[in-house]
Structure 1
């Protein structure tokens, strides 16, 4: 009975534990005041990716284009290969404007998800709340649009962002094929909603 109660207590404790505690992060001194995401930070570049979005049993493919217009300002356009607009968004700081969107995707829940996902994808600087060590990776805790995010850096490169809620991973942003502040492939994987976004740089 004592073993059962101990196990039950441990299960409840871990279930309520914070994300860093669940993952065994080691807290370290914060030196860097802001996170750094360099992948969409150059105003002189057009970032073009071949994209596939799978959402609510529908699949959309085409070109995903990001243009930095100024400090904390980006425009993101997703078009078909033929040039028809699927969505066209503008971000200015935390403000979000829908310039155009395909009727099939014009659903409030999907728009809110895309807003949070794409804002996390392009946010260059967010204040660091805490810093951790995870088996050699440096992990920065921050908030984007009031949601807790963890930025994982491996050998100085941003390899992953995790959005967390109630101590659990909600969304994973995976960056690979990194060369000169360009991510060759980006995956946004939701653990709750039926939504994935895959980008491959052209």
Structure 2
């Protein structure tokens, strides 16, 4: 009986939602949507020195993110010599692979990159729940049917957590923020060997 009770308790803890595990306080104030400002200026080409480590392979070069219009972003990763590694177009409800290097052309990897960059470039986002924790305001967002938690500190987006079954799966960390530009962005996956590091060289 004791073993059964312990097993049930462990199961309940493991199945608890992310907000409960983090001891968030539900905030009932009205917030129907939030905005991510980091790639919202159509007049800018956002250029980053990029490093992508996937399993045992390393790819380095330049990542360019461009807002084409209100409905479209373009994300291009090239070597420093200008050779394309991948080229994606994101629309409001669609995604297109314009080009991808054969070495990266794996359906599962494309799907992961699609989800990661969608988080970076999505601007206006509907909120499903709002929470608070210390000085943070946390907003629960659904992107591609996955729960994401957007952390704002002093009205500035500091990081995003993607979860599954109440557990952290991906961290998006924004730092060295100046005038709506995150000079440093780190994307860290916990369930696969994939890390993306971006350092802005935008003038």
TM-score, length of structure 2 as denominator length: 0.95
- Cα distance between partner residues in 1 of 2:62 and 2:153: 29
2:101 matched residue in structure 1: 102
Task: Show the counterpart of 1:65.
Answer: 64
Task: Kindly indicate whether the alpha-carbon contact (under 8 Å) linking 1:91 and 1:97 is maintained by their aligned counterparts in 2.
Answer: yes
- Asked if the contact 1:131–1:141 (Cα under 8 Å) also holds between the matched residues in 2, the reply is yes
The answer to whether residue 180 in structure 2 is matched with residue 178 in structure 1 is: no
Aligned-pair distance for 1:35? Answer: 2.2
Map of 1:74 onto structure 2? 73
CA offsets, 1:63-120, max 9 Å, x none? 0000001113100000000000000000011211011111100000000000000101
Which residue of 2 is the match for residue 116 of structure 1? 115
Cα deviation, 1:4-51, whole Å, max 9, x if unaligned, reads 665444322110111100110000114221121100000011100000
Q: Do the aligned partners of 1:94 and 1:145 also contact (CA within 8 Å) in 2?
A: no
Paired residue secondary structure (1:117): helix
Are the aligned partners of 1:35 and 1:151 in contact in 2 as well (CA < 8 Å)? no
Structure 1 residues 133-169: Cα deviation after superposition (integer angstroms, max 9, x where no partner): 0122000001011111110001111000111111111
Aligned residues: 201
Separation in 2, partners of 1:170, 1:182: 25
Which runs of at least 4 in structure 1 moved beyond 6 Å after TM superposition?
none
Post-superposition offset of 1:56: 2.1
Kept in 2, the 8 Å contact 1:75–1:90? The answer is yes
Residue aligning to 2:135: 136
For residues 28-39 of structure 1, what are the structure 2 equivalents within 5 Å? 28-39=27-38
CA-based RMSD of the aligned residues comes to 1.3
So what's the TM-score if we normalise by structure 1?
Answer: 0.96
- Which ranges of structure 2 fall in alignment gaps of 5 or more residues? none
